Amino acid sequence: MLTKQQKSQQIEEAKKIIQDNKTLVFIDFTSTVVEDMKKLRRALLGIGGKMKIIKKKLLRVAFKESNLDFDPEKFDSQVATISAQKDISELAGPIYKFSKETKNKNFKILGGYDLMEKSFIDAEMVKQIGQLPSREILLGRVVGMLVSPIRMFLYVLDQKSKQTVENK
Coil/strand/helix, residue 21? coil
Q: Are 10 and 53 in contact (CB under 8 A)?
A: no
Predicted model pTM: 0.78
pLDDT tens-place string over residues 5-54: 998 999 999 999 999 999 999 999 888 888 888 999 998 998 889 999 98
> 168 pLDDT band (50/70/90 cuts)?
low
pLDDT tens-place string over residues 71-100: 888 888 889 999 999 888 888 889 999 888
Q: Give the DSSP H or E segment for 135.
A: helix 135-167
Question: What amino acid occupies position 160?
Answer: K
Q: Are 109 and 95 in contact (CB under 8 A)?
A: yes
Q: Which of 121, 97, 101 is nearest to 111 (CA)?
A: 121
**pLDDT (average), residues 145-161:** 91
Determine the pLDDT at residue 140: 93
Q: Are 47 and 86 in contact (CB under 8 A)?
A: yes
